[in-house]
């Protein structure tokens, strides 16, 4: 029994005449003395001679198209735009169209109103002055030209009292440049400081 | 070079070039058909399997990782698809050698011997374990090298060679057994 696996592995290549000259000679010298390998080579030749029936040129020529179509059919189809799909969804009941119209009007109204409100809020926050005839108050706008004589007198007296109190508070600042009471400041001085102040005033008086 | 050509054709096919697609089909349809026919021994099944193999290959072209050759990848797909058909067929197939030989009425003794040997061989091949049969078939009938067979069968080179050795030894034993049965 032959155990030369290298020779046995090379027998198919020997049959195919795919070996170089040295390898060929090695196989041939082995075959000359090995019945088992000769039998194996005959078996390989018998197997290799087994032919496959040719289905014919028409079969081969049609194959690319047949495969191409089969591949195309097996691909997941892409969703294309379908007009009937759109029409089916447009034919809605009448009430849905009415509801949609009302909704549209409400949305448009809201969109128009919202910017105006925002603008008013912005003007308030920035202290924008209004027209001469209009005053903005917490309760709303008042047009001066619409007021009668009594109402104007009331406003006048209110404004006069408000102004006089403002003047009283502002007088020390206006006269002395500081928000202080000069008499209270003099009362707080000690004897020495009063003497120094007196001397300074006399000196300023002499200098004119 | 051969692989580069295929990769170029694959890239062009993936880009939608129909000519490249056609070229790949025309290039590999015959070797694949031959392999499939040897596996299933039937023209209709072989044609059907050829179409399935090519469709599966081209629909899954993006999954071809290009680590092996395109041909090896095609062979893997073909073998996986043909395995089930082959298993069913090998279970169902019980050919009476005597019946076939007598029906064909060979005119010479040599022709009779030749035909008998071939029938014996076909029967013996169907009785080999699947991996051994595939390996012997790929090496002897499809002229694939052991390295390629290892890739196609997704096994080591050593396993591919071992399957070949065991397959050939068993084939010889089966044929001798059959021959003795027939001559008794």
The residue extents of the domains of chain B are 1-93, 96-184
CA–CA gap between residue B101 and residue B112 (Å, rounded): 7
> Is residue A143 within a helix (H) or strand (E), and if so which, with residue range?
strand A140-143
Dihedrals phi, psi of A102, to nearest 5 degrees: -60, -45
Residue A36 domain-assigned (yes or no): yes
Model pTM score = 0.59
Interface of A with B in 139-168 (CB under 8 A): none
Domain with A29 in it: 5-49
Residue A116 domain-assigned (yes or no): yes
CA–CA gap between residue A28 and residue A45 (Å, rounded): 16
- The CA distance from A83 to the nearest CA of chain B, in Å, is 28
The contacts of residue B85 (CB under 8 Å, 6+ apart) are: B39, B40, B45, B49
A148 shares a domain with A133: no
pLDDT digits (tens, 9 = 90+) for B121-135: 888 888 899 999 999
Question: What's the confidence (pLDDT) of residue B100?
Answer: 41
Higher model confidence: residue B46 or residue A112?
B46
Question: What's the confidence (pLDDT) of residue B103?
Answer: 42
User: Which residues of A are less than 8 Å from B170 in CB distance?
Assistant: none
A196 shares a domain with A147: yes
A137 shares a domain with A155: no
A176 shares a domain with A130: no
A133 shares a domain with A154: no
Residue A54 domain-assigned (yes or no): no
Question: What's the confidence (pLDDT) of residue B46?
Answer: 94
What mean pLDDT is predicted for residues B83-109?
52
What's the CATH code, domain B1-93? Answer: 1.10.1740.10
User: Which residues of B are less than 8 Å from A66 in CB distance?
Assistant: 51
Question: What's the confidence (pLDDT) of residue A81?
Answer: 55
pLDDT digits (tens, 9 = 90+) for A63-80: 999 999 999 888 765 555
A155 shares a domain with A176: yes
Residue A44 domain-assigned (yes or no): yes
Higher model confidence: residue B137 or residue A96?
B137
Higher model confidence: residue B87 or residue A175?
B87
Other Cβ atoms closer than 10 A to A42: 12
Q: Quick one: tokens of B142?
A: 């499809």
Q: Kindly identify which residue of chain A lies nearest to residue B61, measuring between CA atoms.
A: A71
What's the CATH code, domain B96-184? Answer: 1.10.10.10
Whether the complex's predicted ipTM surpasses the cut of 0.90: no
- The CA distance from A98 to the nearest CA of chain B, in Å, is 50
pLDDT digits (tens, 9 = 90+) for B48-71: 999 999 999 999 998 898 888 999
Q: Which residue do the tokens 């054709």 mark?
A: B9
Residue A183 domain-assigned (yes or no): yes
User: Which residues of A are less than 8 Å from B143 in CB distance?
Assistant: 12, 16
Q: What is the CA radius of gyration of chain B?
A: 19
A160 shares a domain with A120: no
Average pLDDT, chain A: 77
Q: Quick one: tokens of B14?
A: 């993936």
Residue A73 domain-assigned (yes or no): no
Structural domain count, chain A? 3
Residue A138 domain-assigned (yes or no): yes
């Amino acid at each position: 029994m032959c155990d030369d696996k290298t020779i046995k592995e090379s027998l198919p290549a020997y049959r195919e005449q795919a070996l170089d000259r040295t390898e060929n000679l090695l196989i041939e010298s082995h075959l000359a003395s090995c019945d088992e390998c000769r039998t194996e080579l005959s078996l390989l030749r018998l197997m290799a001679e087994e032919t496959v029936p040719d289905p014919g040129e028409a079969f081969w020529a049609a194959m690319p198209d047949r495969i191409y179509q089969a591949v195309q059919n097996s691909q997941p189809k892409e969703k294309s735009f379908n007009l009937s799909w759109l029409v089916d969804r447009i034919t809605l009941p009448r009430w849905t169209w009415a509801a949609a119209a009302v909704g549209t009007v409400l949305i448009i109204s809201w969109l128009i109103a919202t910017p105006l409100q925002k603008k008013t809020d912005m003007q308030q926050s920035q202290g924008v002055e209004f027209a001469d005839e209009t005053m903005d108050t917490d309760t709303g706008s008042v047009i001066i030209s619409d007021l009668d004589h009594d109402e104007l007198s009331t406003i006048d007296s209110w404004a006069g009292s408000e102004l006089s109190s403002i003047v009283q508070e502002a007088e020390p600042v206006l006269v002395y440049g500081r928000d202080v009471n000069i008499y209270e400041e003099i009362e707080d001085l000690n004897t020495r400081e009063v003497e120094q102040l007196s001397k300074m005033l006399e000196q300023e008086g002499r200098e004119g | 070079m051969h692989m580069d050509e295929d990769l170029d054709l694959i890239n062009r096919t993936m880009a939608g070039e129909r000519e490249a697609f056609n070229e790949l089909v025309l290039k590999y349809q015959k070797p694949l058909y031959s392999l499939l026919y040897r596996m299933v021994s039937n023209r209709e099944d072989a044609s059907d399997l050829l179409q399935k193999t090519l469709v599966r290959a081209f629909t899954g072209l993006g999954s071809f990782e290009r680590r092996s050759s395109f041909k090896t990848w095609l062979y893997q797909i073909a073998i996986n698809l043909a395995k089930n058909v082959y298993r069913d067929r090998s279970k169902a197939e019980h050919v009476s050698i005597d019946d076939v030989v007598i029906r064909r009425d060979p005119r010479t003794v040599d022709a009779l011997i030749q035909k008998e040997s071939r029938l014996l061989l076909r029967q013996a091949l169907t009785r080999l374990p699947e991996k051994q049969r595939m390996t012997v078939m790929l090496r002897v009938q499809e002229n694939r090298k052991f390295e390629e067979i290892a890739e196609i069968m997704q096994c080591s080179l050593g396993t591919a060679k071992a399957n070949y050795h065991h397959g050939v030894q068993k084939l010889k034993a089966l044929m001798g057994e059959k021959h003795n049965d027939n001559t008794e």
